[in-house]
Amino acid sequence: MRNKIELLSPAGDLERLKIACLYGADAVYIGGKDYSLRANANNFSIDEIKEACIFAHNLGKKVYLTLNIVFHNEDISGVYDYIKDVVDAGIDAFIVSDLFIVKYIKDNFNVEVHLSTQASTTNVESVKYLKEEGIDRVVLAREVGIKDIKRIIDETGIDIEVFIHGAMCTFYSGRCVLSNYFTNRDSNRGGCAQVCRFNFLIEDKPFSMAVKDLNASYIIKDMIEAGIRSLKIEGRMRSPYYLATVISSYRKIIDAYYDGTLNDAILKEENKILSRVSNRDNSTHFFTKEADLSDQYYSGRWEVSNQDYLGFVINYNKETKLCTFSQRNYFSVGDTILIFTPDGRRIKYNVEKLYNENMEEVEKANHAEEILSFYIKEDIPFGSMMRRYEDNV
């Protein structure tokens, strides 16, 4: 059997990178201050890239850096010095979309190069060519089905990475120019304004063209058995809570497959969790069939932001059993909450008493980021998170 499949997480900043690593990602992908398709994320300075690599490598994780804009002439200035700087910072691979970058990296550095989904790679012959050119891994276009993925792997032997969860582009694997026309922001150079999610009026009738989010949780077994090397979660702009929730669910599914315990009950439970953390409907899109009307929104689309995320644990005193957290959403004494930890535990807890920073009893957690505490017997490590307990989720 090949090594266990990689679970790859986004990280928009150092806080998110640490959360991703602690909650079970095998690798993270990050963007620097330049040449990244998420220009509105916080992104990483060179010093932060160094810190990120040290943190991840100490946990046995890898760090990939996105260099995946579509380069125009004016974008090339400075890129070669930048590549050297981030290699020296310790990254394990570049994710690129422009092929001119590949030769330069391979000729000068001992680091992997992964071809971005932005290259829209969909067939065996393209992947063979890319392998000959020195590409170590291909991130396939999101429009490729599981049967074609398996064929590409069988006929090329190259590492293949696919997206499994998160937002989908309405246009071909991100190759969109709606932002350019509507907002004068180049979506292929980091400026996507998500125009596909705008609401329009056509003859005074509402219209939108957004697609539903991707959710491949039910077909992870098929993906592993197809020989895919890496499963990528979308979302460098997502919150730490979102990342922790999604990563921990996919970590549980993947580990259950390898230890022989994966079953419908686990998939159903994790899918409930995944469906609650996102405010959009989801589907498997192109993986199992040709995408159709059921995978898209038109008119009548609505998104509801839930308030499940209750708190972030910042300290646990093992002697006194006092758990201290930073509040995120309203709850009160008498509520039942679920605490989920970086090591995979899920702890149901009935809140009997709450204390403020002065250890005075309070009835409600109703101030954003207020520091509060409660007593609990279980050891709750830093970085654990709290959410509403509902329907066993």
Q: Which token pair is 64?
A: 């990939």
> What are the Cα distances from residue 342, in Å, to 62, 247, 307?
18, 10, 21
The yes-or-no verdict on residue 263 having pLDDT over 50 is yes
The yes-or-no verdict on residue 129 having pLDDT over 60 is yes
The yes-or-no verdict on residue 298 having pLDDT over 80 is no
CA dist., res. 99 & res. 132, Å (int)? 12
Q: How confident is the model at residue 192 (pLDDT cuts 50, 70, 90)?
A: confident
Beta-carbon contacts of residue 35 (< 8 Å; ≥ 6 apart): 66, 67, 68, 69, 71, 75, 79, 82
pLDDT at 167: 82
* Top-ranked range on mean pLDDT: pick from 268-272, 273-277, 296-300: 268-272
pLDDT at 49: 97
Considering only 82-96, 105-119, 202-216, 359-373, which range has the smallest mean pLDDT? 202-216
Amino acid at residue number 108: N
Average pLDDT over residues 221-229: 96
Asked if 356 and 362 count as a contact pair (C-beta separation under 8 A), the reply is yes
Beta-carbon contacts of residue 165 (< 8 Å; ≥ 6 apart): 213, 214, 215, 216, 217, 233, 234, 246, 250, 274
Nearest in space to 333 (alpha carbons), one of 364, 374, 370: 364
The yes-or-no verdict on residue 335 having pLDDT over 70 is yes
> What are the Cα distances from residue 229, in Å, to 8, 162, 168, 219?
10, 8, 21, 15
Residue of 1 and 132 predicted with greater confidence? 132
Q: How confident is the model at residue 218 (pLDDT cuts 50, 70, 90)?
A: very high
pLDDT at 237: 82
Q: How confident is the model at residue 291 (pLDDT cuts 50, 70, 90)?
A: confident
pLDDT at 74: 87
Contacts 24+ apart (CB under 8 A), 123-132: 123/148, 123/152, 124/151, 124/152, 124/155, 124/156, 127/152, 127/156, 127/158, 127/160, 128/155, 128/156, 130/158, 131/156, 131/157, 131/158
Average pLDDT over residues 128-139: 96
Amino acid at residue number 109: F
pLDDT at 175: 74
Domains of the chain: which residue ranges?
A: 6-295, 309-388
Q: Quick one: how many helices (H) and strands (E) in the chain?
A: 11, 22
pLDDT at 302: 61
pLDDT at 150: 97
Nearest in space to 381 (alpha carbons), one of 333, 315, 330: 315
The yes-or-no verdict on residue 392 having pLDDT over 60 is no
Beta-ladder partners of 340: 346, 385
Nearest in space to 58 (alpha carbons), one of 22, 13, 8, 4: 22
CA dist., res. 351 & res. 375, Å (int)? 9
Q: Which token pair is 173?
A: 């694997």
The yes-or-no verdict on residue 301 having pLDDT over 50 is yes
As a three-state string, the secondary structure of 209-238 is CCECEEECHHHHHHHHHHCCCEEEECCCCC
The yes-or-no verdict on residue 325 having pLDDT over 90 is yes
Beta-carbon contacts of residue 325 (< 8 Å; ≥ 6 apart): 311, 312, 313, 314, 371, 372, 373, 386
Q: Which token pair is 87?
A: 């290699």
pLDDT more than 90, % of the chain: 67
Considering only 223-232, 277-286, 315-324, which range has the smallest mean pLDDT? 277-286
Q: How confident is the model at residue 89 (pLDDT cuts 50, 70, 90)?
A: very high
Asked if 372 and 354 count as a contact pair (C-beta separation under 8 A), the reply is yes
Average pLDDT over residues 291-301: 70
Per residue in 10-57, pLDDT tens? Answer: 999 999 999 999 999 999 999 988 776 655 557 899 999 999 999 999
Q: Which token pair is 376?
A: 């609990």
Average pLDDT over residues 144-155: 96
Average pLDDT over residues 53-78: 93
pLDDT more than 70, % of the chain: 93
The yes-or-no verdict on residue 196 having pLDDT over 90 is no
pLDDT at 1: 46
Q: What is the pTM of this model?
A: 0.90
The CA-based dihedral angle spanning residues 139, 127, 103, 69, taken in that order and rounded to the nearest 10 degrees: -40
Q: Which token pair is 214?
A: 């991707």
pLDDT at 293: 73
* Top-ranked range on mean pLDDT: pick from 54-58, 97-101, 198-202: 54-58
Q: How confident is the model at residue 339 (pLDDT cuts 50, 70, 90)?
A: very high
> What are the Cα distances from residue 93, in Å, to 114, 200, 229?
7, 40, 15
User: Taking all residues of the chain, what is their mean pLDDT, rounded to a whole number?
Assistant: 90
Class of 6-295 per CATH? Answer: alpha beta
The yes-or-no verdict on residue 181 having pLDDT over 70 is yes
The yes-or-no verdict on residue 300 having pLDDT over 90 is no
CATH number of 309-388: 2.40.30.10
Per residue in 274-285, pLDDT tens? Answer: 988 876 777 777
Q: Which token pair is 252?
A: 């549980």
Query: HSE of 74 in the Cβ direction (CA atoms, 13 Å)?
Result: 1
Asked if 312 and 326 count as a contact pair (C-beta separation under 8 A), the reply is yes
CA dist., res. 62 & res. 93, Å (int)? 8
Residue of 186 and 274 predicted with greater confidence? 274
